[in-house]
Structure 1
Amino acid sequence: MLNVLSILLGLVALLMAIPSAIPFLGWGNWIVLPVAILGAGLGALSSKNGGRNFCLIVLLIAVVRLSLGGGIF
């Protein structure tokens, strides 16, 4: 059950991260980060790794986008 919740949180974070890739909307990645971290935490509590890995990939996408835009020093 926690794996399913983790995947759902990862999908929500991914859907928020897609428009955040547009210039001047990169601030949305700051909203994506806590959602993806929460999903990864739920996935870590699960017995399966799929949801955790998906959330970590979404988290990596958001962090790379923030670093390219200068949002992370």
Structure 2
Amino acid sequence: MGLISLVWGIVAMVFMCIALIPLLGIANWLVIPFAAVGAVIGAIGVMLSGSGKNGRAKAGLVLNGIVIVVAVARLHLGGGII
């Protein structure tokens, strides 16, 4: 689960970088749920793995969380969130 969350976060980060381009900010509405699914997968991975084997799951969880925060901030700056 950790590897899936990490790869999911990397893909979400790429999509987020594309959504930061002006006039493509509407893509943030798709990036946020995509990263939220990755964060849920990462949280499940942290819960199911042992204490010393959850590094990838934690990294995926943090990466997806960063993507969500940046995408929400970008929507807020662009007027997408009322």
Normalising by the residue count of structure 1, what TM-score does the alignment of the two structures yield?
0.92
Computing the radius of gyration from Cα coordinates, the structure with the larger value is: 2
Aligned to 2:28: 29
Tell me the amino acid that sits aligned with residue 10 of structure 2.
Answer: L
Matched, 1:64 2:73: yes
Separation (CA, whole Å) in 1 of partners of 2:81 and 2:28:
11
Which structure 2 segments of 5+ residues have no match? 47-53
Q: Which has the higher contact order (CA 8 A, sep 6+)?
A: 2
Separation (CA, whole Å) in 1 of partners of 2:59 and 2:19:
24
Aligned to 2:5: 6
Percent sequence identity over aligned pairs: 40
Normalising by the residue count of structure 2, what TM-score does the alignment of the two structures yield?
0.82
Which structure 1 segments of 5+ residues have no match? none
Separation (CA, whole Å) in 2 of partners of 1:20 and 1:50:
22
User: Aligned residues, how many?
Assistant: 72
